[in-house]
Amino acid sequence: MWEDFGVSHFEDCGTIYATRNEDGWFETSMESLDELGIPYIEISPTVLGENFPMVEPRGIRRAMRAENSGILYPQRILTDLLTSLIRLGVSLQSGTQVSEIDPERTTLTVKGQTKAADVVVIAAGAWVARLLPQLREIAVPSRQTVLYLAPPASVLAAWKRAPPLLIRNYDVNLYSLPPRIGTRLKIGDHRYSRSGDVDTPRQPSDADVQSLWNGIRTSFRFADRYTLLESKACFYTVTDDQRFYVRQIGGRMWGMSACSGHGFKLAPLIAEGLAQAIVGETDAAGITDWAAGRSC
């Protein structure tokens, strides 16, 4: 994709993982990195606090820095993807809400008109269960809170050179994306709420914001000196086991849900696997287990 764009929208700057919990997540993460051959180095909480003075090291049990990882810039990716698809001759239709589907006939109802297709892929994000009722108890929308902040001057330089930071606390699991190349500092709550109406306004409640602030105060020094620029509520679907869901529905229709909040970075992989199954390059019967990580 970067070759098609002529530019990469991925910054390989590594990732910091830290935990205050004793739930086995840290050890499982290291096992996964070992299995994938991704290099990492464990660092002490003291060194973490020295290298990144905005981090509060007290209470952190273990921390590590993983390489071959970093930041994706979604808006830039989507903008270039849109341009690239148009250049390739793909017909895009905006403002065309699909109200009904027929898996057996492989048809869609759009603005009262029925449209037939050779193959249909339903990849509607947090709205996927609206079109595929069989997913309502499987791929459940999860409302998450995100804050955009301006750090105090004393730690601004440290934030600008920092990689993404993931900090697991007893109450809130935080992920943070540093202010880089024109972006704002973004800190989000990665707990799976598996609740919320996707059609409600994207403004988090005071309780949601306060809960996230509590986690920020635990995780970062000088938290009360940060300026809140914007708060948002975002949605993604989550299965009960946090696995991706891809399944054939009817003869030539597919349902696809990139669950657990990791969909954007893995969308090209899952989409390529599904495309190969559709055109017969791989076994379509095995695509469900492959996408869920149960087979290679």
Q: CATH 3.30.9.10 spans which residues of the chain?
A: 2-73+140-238
| Amino acid at position 253, single letter | M
What distance in Å separates the CA atoms of residue 198 and residue 233, rounded to the nearest whole number? 10
Q: Is the pLDDT of residue 171 over 90?
A: no
Q: Is the pLDDT of residue 195 over 80?
A: no
DSSP for 22-67 reads -SSHHHHHHHHHHHHT--EEEE-HHHHHHHSTTB--TT--EEEEES
| Per-residue pLDDT, 234 | 87
- Contact between 174 and 216 under an 8 Å Cβ cutoff? The reply is yes
Q: Which residue has the higher pLDDT, 196 or 105?
A: 105
pLDDT-above-90 percentage for the chain: 64
99-149 pLDDT, tens digit per residue, is 899 999 999 999 889 999 999 999 988 888 888 888 888 888 888 899 999
User: Can you list the alpha helix ranges (DSSP code H) found in the chain?
Assistant: 2-5, 25-36, 45-51, 74-87, 128-131, 153-160, 206-219, 263-278, 287-291
Both tokens assigned to 18? 């830290």
> What is the pTM for the complete model shown?
0.89
- Burial code (b: 16+ CB inside 10 Å, e: under 16) for 83-112 equals eeeeeeeeeeeeeeebeebebeebbbeeee
| Per-residue pLDDT, 52 | 97
| Per-residue pLDDT, 79 | 95
Q: Is the pLDDT of residue 275 over 80?
A: yes
What is the phi-psi region of residue 242: left when phi exceeds 0, alpha when psi lies from -120 to 50, beta otherwise?
Answer: left
Round the CA-based radius of gyration of the chain to a whole number and report it. 21
239-260 pLDDT, tens digit per residue, is 888 888 898 988 899 998 877 7
For 2-73+140-238, which CATH class? alpha beta
Residue with tokens 């994706």: 72
Average pLDDT over the chain reads 91
Both tokens assigned to 163? 């990689």
| Per-residue pLDDT, 231 | 95
Q: Phi and psi at residue 115, in whole multiples of 5°?
A: -125, 130
| Per-residue pLDDT, 181 | 84
